[in-house]
């Protein structure tokens, strides 16, 4: 029997004869259920419709794994490669043998994780393919819609590989996180942010959301919490949840200035033309 996949968010549910009545993730205020109602799919159906993995080198030591055409929310994964093993971040909604072979050639996986529950997607499939741990923040572990014994929880921060640290920022979800990769950007440091920190299309600023599809903002204390959580870490680049956009340089200053501007708007203090 197949693992049922929500067609809207691509989170997976346990193998059973019939899919659930609703998707736990999409029924939450931060996501959405189509006006036509809940719809389910399977990996086999997605493959039959032409979806294939799209693997690219993003920068030295960082491999991207997406889906062409994109599935559901459309995020692509990032694989941080280190001499001590690899971490896969934000798995997309579809996985095939091409992606597995590419990651195996890159050294396999020690662990898989995600910025927040919307991007758990194929996290269990990746774990099974490589015998990798599933690392979830304790605050959000209950959102995993396909429970698995490989889950290990963490909170606050967790160094998972040398130079690779998971940082709980909160905001979008209580456990929303970023991954800090100290060796990234030629040693200047990188944040993998999903949409914990939301990179905007001009690649010159970031923003913060409670719900992107429902256009709900993040309150000031939560924005400050996100910025405070990453302040101890050195970084010059931020990758969001998709191939583009990317804050390619000056990311720390951009984060600080964007947060200040965002808070000005929340307070009604922003000058607008």
Would you say 256 and 227 are in contact if contact means Cβ atoms under 8 Å apart? Answer: yes
Based on the structure, what is the number of domains in the chain? Answer: 1
Residue 252, φ and ψ in degrees, nearest 5: -60, -50
Asked if residue 75 belongs to a domain, the reply is: yes
Asked if residue 44 belongs to a domain, the reply is: no
Asked if residue 240 belongs to a domain, the reply is: yes
The residue behind tokens 């109602």 is 37
Asked if residue 42 belongs to a domain, the reply is: no
Asked if residue 169 belongs to a domain, the reply is: yes
The per-residue pLDDT for 57 is: 98
**Residue 269 and residue 273: Cα distance in Å, rounded?**
13
Asked if residue 48 belongs to a domain, the reply is: no
**Mean pLDDT taken over the chain:** 97
Q: Which range marks the domain in which residue 243 is found?
A: 4-31+54-267
- The size of the chain, in residues, is 273
What is the pTM assigned to this prediction? Answer: 0.97
Q: What is the DSSP string of 250-268?
A: -HHHHHHHHHHHHHHHHHT
The per-residue pLDDT for 65 is: 98
CATH of the domain at 260: 3.60.15.10
Asked if residue 38 belongs to a domain, the reply is: no
The 10s digit of each residue's pLDDT in 181-228 is: 999 999 999 999 999 999 999 999 999 999 999 999 999 999 999 999
Terminus-to-terminus CA distance in the chain, angstroms? 57
**Residue 155 and residue 136: Cα distance in Å, rounded?**
9
The residue behind tokens 């009545």 is 21
**Residue 196 and residue 129: Cα distance in Å, rounded?**
27
Asked if residue 37 belongs to a domain, the reply is: no
């Amino acid at each position: 029997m197949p693992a049922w996949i929500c067609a809207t968010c691509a989170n997976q549910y346990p193998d059973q004869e019939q899919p659930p009545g609703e998707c736990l993730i999409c029924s939450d205020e931060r996501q959405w259920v189509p006006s036509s109602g809940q719809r389910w799919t399977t990996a086999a159906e997605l493959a039959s419709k032409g979806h294939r993995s799209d693997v690219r080198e993003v920068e030295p030591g960082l491999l991207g794994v997406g889906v062409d055409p994109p599935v559901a929310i459309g995020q692509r994964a990032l694989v941080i490669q280190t001499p001590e093993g690899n971490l896969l971040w934000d798995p997309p909604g579809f996985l095939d043998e091409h992606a597995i072979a590419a990651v195996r050639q890159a050294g396999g996986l020690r662990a898989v994780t995600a910025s927040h529950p919307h991007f758990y997607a194929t996290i269990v499939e990746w774990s099974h393919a490589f015998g990798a741990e599933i690392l979830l923040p304790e605050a959000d572990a209950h959102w995993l819609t396909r429970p698995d014994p490989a889950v290990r929880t963490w909170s606050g921060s967790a160094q998972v590989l040398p130079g690779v640290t998971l940082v709980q920022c909160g905001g979008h979800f209580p456990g929303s996180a970023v991954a800090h990769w100290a060796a990234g950007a030629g040693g200047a440091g990188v944040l993998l942010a999903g949409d914990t920190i939301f990179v905007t299309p001009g690649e010159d600023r970031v923003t913060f959301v409670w719900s992107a599809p429902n256009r709900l903002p993040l309150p000031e204390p939560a924005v400050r919490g996100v910025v405070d959580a990453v302040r101890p870490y050195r970084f010059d680049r931020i990758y969001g949840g998709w191939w583009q956009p990317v804050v390619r340089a000056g990311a720390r200053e951009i984060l600080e200035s964007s947060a200040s501007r965002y808070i000005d708007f929340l307070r009604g203090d922003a000058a607008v033309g």
